[in-house]
Amino acid sequence: MPAETHVERGPLGPEEAFALVRERLAEILDIDETRITRESRFSEDLEADSLALIELVEALEEELGERTVGFSVDDEDLADLVSVGDAVDYVMARLQVASADS
């Protein structure tokens, strides 16, 4: 059985959200996770293009959709996500909305 099936699926805190965003972004950009901080800007610091951000959103929706029913990222909000910290804050806000709706 894959290790992922044994992962705790409880509420996600800011540090866990950051770790998830950092891990998925490192995979998508094929860079070392240590290059990614909360202050890292997607395009300027990490050279992430819009396709990479869409891949990140899809990965987050897949992962977090398993944890929280109704978790989604609105396409029109992508332009507001400039840094990794913005993405983490957005994820936390969306998780609160999804939890309140369920």
Nearest alpha-carbon partner for 102 in 65, 52, 58, 48: 65
R_g over Cα of the chain: 13
One-letter amino acid at 85 equals G
Q: Which of 30, 32, 49, 74 is catalytic?
A: 49
Q: Is 89 a catalytic residue?
A: no
Nearest alpha-carbon partner for 71 in 51, 50, 101: 101
Query: Which tokens is 100 given?
Result: 């309140």
Q: Beta partners for 83?
A: 41
Catalytic residues: 49
